[in-house]
Each structure stands twice: as structure tokens, then as C-alpha cells.
């Protein structure tokens, strides 16, 4: 192989290596776009790896669900996916470089002899948009605002998950307390039945007393069995919220029941205003509006000129002794004159999309106000329900003690005793429901205001 052939082969090989080198330069995230997405760890104060263990608190459950529930992980991946478009938009500011190489062979037949010609060539070309009157800037702004919207949507998904964990947590302990109440009611009903049976055998009670007591006891057994089933379902619901199989065994720490006074909250007008500022889904909708506005500017830029710089260099060598080198450079301007009114309709479509985003924001804003108002009233009502249920339980307890004493003394009827037992069981159940529902209503109000962050979950654990 001659000197010129070797040089051509080396140039061709160099072009191939250059192409592979540029491809390998990727370094995963050269523009650092992944850093624009908030990580799941940024939403919690727990730094240890989330694991299932005994005696987990509400905050530990929330932290585990944050990392293990598919919905929050999907929201994070979605935000990461949107962030890649920021990298694409940034790439438009960079020059594009390409290389080409070829090896050609030709044969010409004649009566006297055959002529063989080999040509080896290679080259590199560069293209760079110097100025485009705002197209790249608009596309980059659009991509960044979409990432802002995805981050806000991820935050909304996380707060929704925290609410689901809180609901499942207190529903579980509500079901647990209900079972305990029904077990106690069953025990009382059995004692009443045994007392009625003993009186019947002694001839001091009628068959009707015995049958009524037995019916009440059977009903108490049925209620306890239903409560056991409800408790198992509550465990399954919590496991599902954590992203686990429903049959996963969980041992959960009991919550505090130190209910705070309702006056800790602001008036409803201030709360609605705060919700409009804090709700992450509203922030996502606002970012979508800004992204749509940037799309309008990007569409308008289609009708504006672009100034580009182009350059190339190459080398060609033939077996016939011809060797050439060529280089060129050019600064060009492209001025759109007529495109069949496509730009006009692109702009109009982008403007209408912006208006739709604005209307979606207005609709969501009204929904946020309504949700906050209803959550506020529900918590206010539930606070009064807790106080009333305590009074009801105390009254039912006194009535049961009186009815039991009268029946044992032989001056009260079995019907009075059974009625008092039923009223006490009902009052205890209502008190349990009121207490745990208060926590759920409080968390619902915080979520409706965009305030159900991890620190609030920790406050619940601490009884604050």
C-alpha cells in the first residue's frame, strides 16, 4: 500500500473514531437536567433506607410508601422524562458536527486493457445556528415550564399518598378499636345471658328473658366476627397503600389520641387564600399556562429568519494519482416568505391551547376553594362530634351500670339491661369513629390546602 493510500485509510479510520468518540461523550446527563427534578428523598426527613419493621409509626409508614408505592415512583419518573426535553432544547444552542467517509472502486473495460480506479475520501462538516430570533429560547422555556409542572404534579401525588396512608392508618386503628369494643360487648352479652339463664333455672325469670338474652348474645358474636373481618381488610388496605401485597404482616405503633382544639386553624377566608398559593396541582396548572405561552412564541418564530454558520473540510485520494483537499465556510440567512399560512394556524392553535390551560386553571382554582371550605367544615363538625361522643359514652356507661345493678337486684327487666348494653356498645363505637375520623379530617384539610407535607405527618406522630 502506497503512502497516499495509507493516508486515506488513516483519515477514514480517524473519522470513524471521531464519530464513536462523540457518541461516547454522552456522559449520561451533560446538561444536568436530572437535577431539575425533585427526588423522593427531598420530601422526607428520614435518611435511613425505608424497611418494614415492627412498631412502625405513621411517619415511617409514610416514608416507606413514598419510596415503595408505584404511583409516587411513576410521578418521579414522569418528571425525569419531561426533564430530558430540557436537554433537547439546550442541544439546539450547540453546533452539530458530522463526519463522512467512503471507499469506492470502479472498473472500466476496453479492447486493449482494463482500468481500475480506487477512490478514498473523508470529510467533516459543521453547522451552527447563530441566531433564530427567539425560537430556541421559546422552546427551552416551554421545556422548563413543563418540568416545573411535572415537579408540582409529583408533589401533589405525594401529598395525596400521605393522605391515603393517614386514612388507612387511622382506619386500621379504628377497626382495631371497634373489634375491642365488640369483644367487650360480646363478653357483657354473654354474662347477661348466663345471668338470665341462671334466673330462668331458679324460676325467677321467664323463658322470654332467656331467649332475649340469647338473641343479644348471638348478635354480639356476629358483630365481633364482622369486626374481625373488617380489621383484616384494614390491614390489607394499608399494605396496598404501602405498595405491598395485601397479605403482608404489619405491626404498627398505636397513634396518639391527643386531639387539639379546632381554634388552632385560621379563618376560612385566609385558608382558601393559602390553599390557592400552596396547592401543588394549582402550581402545575400555572406552569402549564406558561409553557403554552412559550409554545405560542415558538410557533411565531417559524415565520422569522434564521442565521446559520456552515463549514466543512474533506480529503480525497484516487489510485490514479489524484489527491485533493477541500474546505469551505458559509454564513447564510434563511428568510421564510410564504408557507401556505401554516405558521398562522400553528400560532392560532397554540393561542387556543393557552386559553384552554387558563380555563383549566380557573376551574381547578374553584375546586380548590370548594375542597378547602368543605374540609374546614367537616373538621369543625368532627371536632364537635368528638366532644358529643365523649358525653354520650359517659352517659351510656352510667345507664348500663344502673340497668345492670337493677337487673341483678331483681327489680329491673332483661329488656332494660339489653337496651342499655346496646346503647353503650353504640356509644363506644361512635366515640372510636369520631376520634380517628378527626385525624383523617384534619389531614384532609391540610391536603386541601397543599400543606400535608412530611413534617405534618411527624406532628401527628408526636401528638401535635
The predicted model scores a pTM of: 0.84
| 188 belongs to a structural domain | yes
Q: How far is residue 446's CA from residue 433's CA, in Å, rounded to a whole number?
A: 20
The residue count of the chain comes to: 464
Cβ-contact 419, 400 below 8 angstroms? no
| 393 belongs to a structural domain | yes
Q: How far is residue 295's CA from residue 379's CA, in Å, rounded to a whole number?
A: 43
| 63 belongs to a structural domain | yes
Residue 21 has pLDDT above 70, yes or no: no
| 199 belongs to a structural domain | yes
| 103 belongs to a structural domain | no
Residues whose CB falls within 8 Å of the CB of residue 421, separated by 6 or more in sequence, listed in order: 185, 188, 189, 192, 216, 400, 403
| 105 belongs to a structural domain | no
Domain extent at residue 77: 43-97+133-304+348-461
Task: CATH number of the domain at 64, please.
Answer: 1.20.1600.10
| 187 belongs to a structural domain | yes
pLDDT of 198 reads 86
The one-character DSSP state at 48 is S
pLDDT of 5 reads 47
| 416 belongs to a structural domain | yes
pLDDT (tens digit, 9 = 90+) per residue, 284-321? 999 999 999 999 999 999 889 999 988 888 877 776 66
Q: For the chain, what is the mean pLDDT?
A: 87
Rounded to the nearest angstrom, the gap between the alpha carbon of residue 28 and the centroid of all alpha carbons in its chain is 25
Mean per-residue pLDDT, 176-204: 87
Mean per-residue pLDDT, 110-135: 79
Number of domains within the chain: 1
pLDDT (tens digit, 9 = 90+) per residue, 253-276? 988 776 766 555 668 999 999 999
Residue 240 has pLDDT above 70, yes or no: yes
pLDDT (tens digit, 9 = 90+) per residue, 324-365? 788 888 888 999 998 899 999 999 999 999 999 999 999 999
pLDDT of 418 reads 83
Nearest to 88 by CA among 41, 142, 25: 142
Mean per-residue pLDDT, 167-184: 92
pLDDT (tens digit, 9 = 90+) per residue, 431-463? 988 989 999 999 999 999 999 999 999 988 876
Amino acid at each position: 500500500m502506497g503512502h497516499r493510500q495509507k493516508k486515506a485509510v488513516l483519515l477514514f479510520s480517524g473519522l470513524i473514531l471521531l464519530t464513536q468518540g462523540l457518541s461516547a461523550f454522552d456522559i449520561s446527563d451533560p446538561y444536568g437536567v436530572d437535577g431539575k427534578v425533585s427526588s423522593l428523598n427531598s420530601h422526607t426527613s428520614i435518611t435511613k433506607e425505608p424497611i418494614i419493621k415492627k412498631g412502625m409509626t405513621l411517619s415511617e409508614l409514610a416514608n416507606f410508601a413514598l419510596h415503595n408505592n408505584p404511583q409516587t415512583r411513576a410521578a418521579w419518573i414522569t418528571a425525569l422524562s419531561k426533564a430530558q426535553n430540557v436537554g433537547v432544547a439546550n442541544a439546539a444552542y450547540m453546533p452539530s458536527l458530522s463526519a463522512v467517509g467512503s471507499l469506492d472502486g470502479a472498473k472500466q473495460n476496453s479492447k486493449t486493457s482494463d482500468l481500475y480506479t480506487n477512490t478514498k475520501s473523508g470529510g467533516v462538516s459543521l453547522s451552527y445556528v447563530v441566531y433564530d430570533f427567539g425560537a430556541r429560547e421559546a422552546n427551552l422555556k416551554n421545556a422548563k415550564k413543563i418540568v416545573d409542572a411535572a415537579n408540582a404534579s409529583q408533589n401533589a401525588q405525594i401529598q395525596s399518598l400521605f393522605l391515603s396512608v393517614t386514612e388507612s392508618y387511622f382506619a386500621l386503628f379504628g377497626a382495631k378499636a371497634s373489634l375491642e369494643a365488640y369483644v367487650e360487648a360480646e363478653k357483657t352479652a354473654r354474662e347477661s345471658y348466663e345471668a338470665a339463664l341462671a334466673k330462668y333455672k331458679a324460676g325467677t325469670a321467664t323463658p322470654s328473658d332467656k331467649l332475649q338474652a340469647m338473641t343479644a348474645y348471638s348478635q354480639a358474636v356476629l358483630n365481633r366476627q364482622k369486626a374481625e373481618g373488617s380489621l383484616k381488610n384494614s390491614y390489607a388496605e394499608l399494605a396496598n397503600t404501602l405498595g405491598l401485597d395485601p397479605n403482608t404482616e404489619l405491626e404498627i405503633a398505636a397513634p396518639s389520641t391527643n386531639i387539639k382544639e379546632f381554634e388552632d386553624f385560621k379563618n376560612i377566608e385566609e385558608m382558601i387564600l393559602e390553599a390557592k398559593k400552596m396547592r401543588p396541582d394549582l402550581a402545575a396548572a400555572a406552569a402549564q399556562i406558561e409553557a403554552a405561552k412559550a409554545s405560542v412564541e415558538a410557533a411565531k418564530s417559524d415565520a422569522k429568519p434564521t442565521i446559520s454558520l456552515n463549514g466543512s473540510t474533506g480529503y480525497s485520494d484516487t489510485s490514479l494519482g489524484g489527491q485533493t483537499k477541500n474546505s469551505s465556510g458559509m454564513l447564510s440567512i434563511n428568510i421564510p416568505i410564504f408557507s401556505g399560512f401554516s405558521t398562522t394556524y400553528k400560532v392560532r392553535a397554540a393561542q387556543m391551547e393557552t386559553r384552554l390551560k387558563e380555563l383549566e386553571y380557573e376551574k381547578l382554582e374553584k375546586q380548590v376553594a370548594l375542597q378547602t371550605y368543605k374540609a374546614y367544615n367537616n373538621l369543625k363538625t368532627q371536632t364537635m362530634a368528638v366532644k358529643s361522643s365523649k358525653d354520650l359514652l359517659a352517659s351510656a356507661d352510667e345507664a348500663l351500670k344502673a340497668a345492670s345493678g337493677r337487673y341483678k337486684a331483681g327489680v329491673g327487666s332483661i329488656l332494660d339491661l339489653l337496651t342499655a348494653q346496646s346503647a353503650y356498645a353504640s356509644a363506644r363505637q361512635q366515640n372510636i369513629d369520631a376520634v380517628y375520623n378527626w385525624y383523617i379530617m384534619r389531614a384532609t384539610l391540610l391536603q386541601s390546602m397543599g400543606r400535608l407535607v412530611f413534617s405534618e405527618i411527624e406532628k401527628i406522630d408526636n401528638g401535635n
